[in-house]
């Protein structure tokens, strides 16, 4: 694992976006695994800037998002569909038909999970999976549990996760209680994983995830087993490393 700690958010964003831009420059047909949440916003801004400066085109790339809330209309401002459009998709040339996000409003959610896994399988391997980290060690929406699920599945969100995400909604009651998430098996199958963590409130969990026991109680700890894991931390999140 390669852990880099940055003294400025700007450098962290440039490095994160630089890795993605570099990958797509070398392999224009790259399959990208994308994440949401507060963490990757700055990286997406930098990617948009790379695109606008003509450094990279996403025309032949494909993307798969990690997760989506269940039951939140796709055009709700806090849906991950809206998030991705707002922060990335509408600013770059990635064709809409090649940008995939699980449909949390499908009539048959189980069938939607299978459809999503089939699309990922058809695309071949995910070349780079971008990840943030939940305060309880979740990745995507794979919450701590006795057992983790390999493929895309419906998950009941932990109260802690709903509270953490309440900052994006008017109240915690408005945060959906379920989501669809790519499974840990799919995440670990990516050729490269780019984990980004920011903020003092994540210092303990990132230390536990990367140096503690490998356990389903902390899903991110499974990342220790990945052969090509790159971790970008700001100084606060990297305080205990």
Q: Is 86 a catalytic residue?
A: no
In the complex, the smallest distance separating the C-beta of residue 234 from ligand GLP, rounded to whole angstroms, is 12
Q: Is 144 in the site for ligand GLP (CB under 6 A)?
A: no
Q: Is 120 in the site for ligand GLP (CB under 6 A)?
A: no
* Residue with smaller CB distance to ligand GLP, 36 or 62: 36
Q: Is 138 a catalytic residue?
A: yes
Beta-bridge partners for 62: 31
- Residue whose token pair is 């299978």: 114
As a three-state string, the secondary structure of 142-202 is ECCCCCCCCCCEEEECCHHHHHHHHHHCCCHHHCCCEEEECCHHHHHHCCEEEEEECCHHH
Task: Please report how the helices 80-87 and 41-52 are oriented relative to each other, as an axis angle in degrees rounded to 10.
Answer: 40
State the catalytic residue, choosing from 81, 87, 138, 226: 138
Among 37, 102, 183, 219, binds ligand GLP (CB under 6 A): 37
Q: Is 141 in the site for ligand GLP (CB under 6 A)?
A: yes
C-alpha 241/C-alpha 234 separation (Å) is 11
* Residue with smaller CB distance to ligand GLP, 56 or 233: 233
Q: Is 234 in the site for ligand GLP (CB under 6 A)?
A: no
Among 67, 117, 127, 234, binds ligand GLP (CB under 6 A): 67
CB 69 within 8 A of CB 105: no
Q: Is 146 a catalytic residue?
A: no
Q: Give kind and range of the element (H or E) at residue 45.
A: helix 41-52
Give the catalytic positions in this structure: 67, 136, 138, 143
Q: For binding to ligand GLP (CB under 6 A), which residues are involved?
A: 35-39, 66-67, 132-134, 140-141, 161, 165
């Amino acid at each position: 694992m390669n852990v880099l700690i940055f003294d400025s958010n700007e450098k962290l964003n440039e490095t994160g976006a630089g890795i993605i831009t570099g990958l797509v420059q070398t392999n224009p047909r790259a399959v990208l695994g994308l994440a949401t949440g507060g963490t990757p916003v700055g990286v997406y801004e930098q990617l948009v800037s790379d695109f606008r400066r003509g450094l990279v085109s996403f025309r032949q790339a494909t993307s798969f998002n990690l997760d989506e809330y269940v039951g939140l209309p796709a055009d709700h401002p806090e849906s991950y569909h809206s998030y991705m459009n707002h922060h990335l998709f509408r600013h770059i040339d990635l064709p809409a038909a090649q940008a995939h996000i699980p449909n949390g409003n499908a009539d048959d959610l189980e069938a939607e999970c299978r459809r999503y896994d089939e699309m990922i399988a058809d695309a071949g391997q995910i070349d780079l999976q971008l990840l943030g980290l939940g305060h309880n060690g979740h990745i995507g929406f794979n919450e701590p549990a006795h057992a983790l699920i390999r493929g895309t599945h419906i998950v009941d969100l932990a109260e802690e996760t709903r509270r953490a995400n309440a900052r994006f909604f008017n109240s915690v009651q408005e945060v959906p209680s379920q989501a669809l998430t790519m499974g840990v098996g799919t995440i670990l199958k990516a050729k490269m994983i780019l984990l980004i963590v920011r903020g003092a409130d994540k210092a303990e969990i990132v230390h536990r995830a990367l140096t503690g026991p490998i356990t389903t109680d902390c899903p991110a700890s499974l990342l220790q087993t990945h052969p090509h894991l790159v971790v970008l931390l700001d100084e606060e999140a990297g305080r205990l490393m």
